Structure 1
Amino acid sequence: MTKKKLLIELSKKLLMQLSICIGALLFFTFYFGITLSDLGPAFTFGVFLLPATLGMVNVFSFHLIPEYLFRQRYFWFALYTAYTLVISIFLIAMSSFYGVIFINSWESMDTGFMLSKNLYLIIIGVYIVVLFTSLFSSFRESHKMHLHNQKLQYALLNGELQLKQQELSYLKMQIQPHFLFNTLNTIYGSAIANRVETPELILKLSSLLDYLLYQTQKTLVPLEDEMDHLKDYLALEKMRHGNKLKVTSTFPQKSGNHMIAPMLFLPLVENSFKHGKSLGRDAFVELRILAYADKVEFFLRNSYDDSVAKGNLASSGIGLQNIKKRLQLLYPDSHTLTIHKSDGYFEVELQIFTTQPKES
């Protein structure tokens, strides 16, 4: 701690002690002099009680309460409180005795001042000051602890937020190269075959790259943009497979104001095309997206051939694991994901019950 900060802390403590002294003296003056026309003797008597009062205030407010009561060390708090009360009664009695002697030694003062005052009333007056000061100190310490706990909570939440952001960024980095690799293979195959649709494939890829570079950096994108992105991808796959793979898709005419996390559906659609290829029988991919007032439904069904699926097992696992992790991070309590594999087909059904994912 620098000298400047040390001086500031000392100044605050001295100011606090001075405020307690002034407040105690004012209380004692009116408490003991309420029946007197001259408040001088009451003020003088309060000065004699001030050391014992200030000592009790400091013991309770700055030691017993924060060190024992707030830390739930109740036995030691009760024990030390009992010791303090016994010692304080003795000190109050001594202060009162010398205060009375001093006041009665002044001829200008009312010599009958303390004859009407009992010791227990004096003790009660001192304890009233200690009680109110301790309550104020307890409230101040409690407020400080509350602010400290809030800072710790904010730091913890901020740390969790940063971890989730890093994890989401890592998952997106996995998705994008995987998607680009498959799409470039599609264009490469089209170029080798000298197909006339190759320029259109490149144009579709350009649109997808624009989406990847700019839209996926956002937390939310309109559902309509996500569907346009899927339509471009479906167009690429249709051009690639031609009549070998039957692709059907259904999209809502109006998506409303739904917002959704970007690149949420693509890994599932990619997997469907990898597994949708079949050896020796008709292959199909069926995609359906429905938008309701309070949820978005995604349904995907494709043909499934074990001989083809085994060759794509490792790569398909990346997309499925990513989508599960992202859903857990973004929609922890507001989504259902059902994956069903049967003889000859593979189904995925995803329901998102809110359009606002968890902050991350």
Structure 2
Amino acid sequence: MSKKFIITQAAKKMIEQVSIGLGALLFYGFYFGVTISNLGPAFTFGIFLLPVTIGMVNVFSFYLIPKFLFTQKYFWFALYTVYTIVISIFLIALSAFYAFLYINSLESLGTEFILTKNLYLIIVAVYIVVLLASLFSAYRESYKVHLRNKELQNALLNGELQLKQEELSYLKMQIHPHFLFNTLNTIYGSAIAKREETPGLILKLSNLLDYILYQTQKSEVPLQDEIDHLKDYLALEKLRHGSKLIISTSWPENTEKIKIAPMLLLPLLENSFKHGKSQNGQAFVDLSLEVNDETINFTLKNSRDEHENISNLTSSGIGLANIKKRLQLLYPESHSFYIEKEKDYFLVQLQIITKKS
């Protein structure tokens, strides 16, 4: 702790004590001098009460209230409050007695000072000052605690947000190698067969790589971008499988201003090819995407081998666990994800409630 900081805190403390003293003195001057014309004796009487007043304010404001009341130790707060009141009554009476003797011994005041209040009202006056000062101090301390708690809460939220972003980045990193591996295998097979479609495959892969490397850095992308790359991926698979694959698609027209997290639908389509099996030499993929106001409905149905175990879906690559985790992070209370396994097909239904930009 620096010396400058210690001096600053001491100065603030001193100013606070002086302010309490001046406020108490003004109150005592008005309280005891309200029925007399000469306020000199009233202020002098108040000065004698200042030490016990400031002492009690400090005891309540900086010890009893923060240590016991704020920490909900009510029994100990009540017990020490009773002790403080008993001791303070004795000190107030002693201070008032000596103040009365001192004022009446001064010939310069020109008259005898007759107390306008009895001892009971003097004690009440002191406790009015103590109560007001303690309440103000308690409010100030509680406000500081509130601000500190708010700062801690904001820091915690920022930390959780950072962890969330890091987890999402990690999940995206899992997507990229898996997707590239499958697509490069497709191009490799096409090159071995010396197909004329190979350049087209490379061009579509280039578009997909651009999407993966750059667009996925954004938190959201236009839904149309995701659709375009779904179409590119379907074209890649169609070129690879040829007539063995039957693809049926339905695309929305009203995609303007609708945004979605990148690479959210594409992995589902990729899984349909990875785990889908042909039946009698034929395979099918039925994809439907609808947009109703702010709701995106994605339905994907693909052929499967009845001997394929659904646990294989999460055995490698991104898996459904990855997709579910991303949905929980990105759309925690605004999505539904449903998977159905039948004898000859898989059905995936995803609904996302998003917002128009």
TM tier relative to shorter chain: over 0.9
Separation of aligned partners in 2, 1:92 and 1:154: 47
Shift of 1:282: 3.0
Deviations 1:243-298 (A, max 9, x none): 10101111101213111100001111011112333142531001111011121000
Shift of 1:63: 0.5
What TM-score results when the alignment is normalised by the length of structure 1? Answer: 0.95
Separation of aligned partners in 1, 2:317 and 2:197: 31
Query: What is the SS of the residue equivalent to 2:217?
Result: coil
Q: Given residue 48 of structure 2, which amino acid in structure 1 is its aligned partner?
A: F
What TM-score results when the alignment is normalised by the length of structure 2? Answer: 0.96
Separation of aligned partners in 2, 1:148 and 1:172: 36
Shift of 1:314: 5.6
Q: Within 5 Å, which residues of 2 pair with 1:89-108?
A: 89-108=89-108
Structure 2 equivalent of residue 7 of structure 1: 7
Q: Given residue 80 of structure 2, which amino acid in structure 1 is its aligned partner?
A: Y
Query: What is the SS of the residue equivalent to 1:349?
Result: strand
Structure 2 equivalent of residue 346 of structure 1: 346
Any conservation in 2 of the 1:278–1:308 contact (CA below 8 Å)?
no
Structure 2 equivalent of residue 125 of structure 1: 125
Q: Does 1:22 align with 2:19?
A: no
Q: Within 5 Å, which residues of 2 pair with 1:1-360?
A: 1-109=1-109, 111-307=111-307, 313=313, 318-355=318-355
Q: Which runs of 5+ in 2 are unaligned?
A: none
Q: Which moved more, 1:161-170 or 1:53-62?
A: 161-170
Q: Which moved more, 1:115-124 or 1:209-218?
A: 115-124
Shift of 1:151: 1.4
Any conservation in 1 of the 2:313–2:320 contact (CA below 8 Å)?
no
Q: Which moved more, 1:68-77 or 1:192-201?
A: 192-201
Shift of 1:128: 0.8
Separation of aligned partners in 1, 2:39 and 2:120: 21
Q: Which runs of 5+ in 1 are unaligned?
A: none
Shift of 1:193: 0.8
Deviations 1:28-79 (A, max 9, x none): 1111111221111111001000001011000001100001000000000000
Separation of aligned partners in 1, 2:126 and 2:120: 10
Matched residues, number: 357
- Aligned CA distance change for structure 1 residues 270 and 310 (closer, same or farther; 3 Å): same
Separation of aligned partners in 2, 1:122 and 1:308: 91
Separation of aligned partners in 1, 2:280 and 2:110: 119
Any conservation in 1 of the 2:178–2:317 contact (CA below 8 Å)?
no
Deviations 1:145-185 (A, max 9, x none): 10111111112112211211111111000001100111111
Separation of aligned partners in 2, 1:143 and 1:190: 70
Q: Which moved more, 1:101-110 or 1:204-213?
A: 101-110
Counting aligned pairs with the same residue, the percent is 66
Q: Given residue 242 of structure 1, which amino acid in structure 2 is its aligned partner?
A: G
Shift of 1:200: 0.8
Q: Which moved more, 1:304-313 or 1:334-343?
A: 304-313
Any conservation in 1 of the 2:285–2:300 contact (CA below 8 Å)?
yes
Query: What is the SS of the residue equivalent to 1:291?
Result: strand
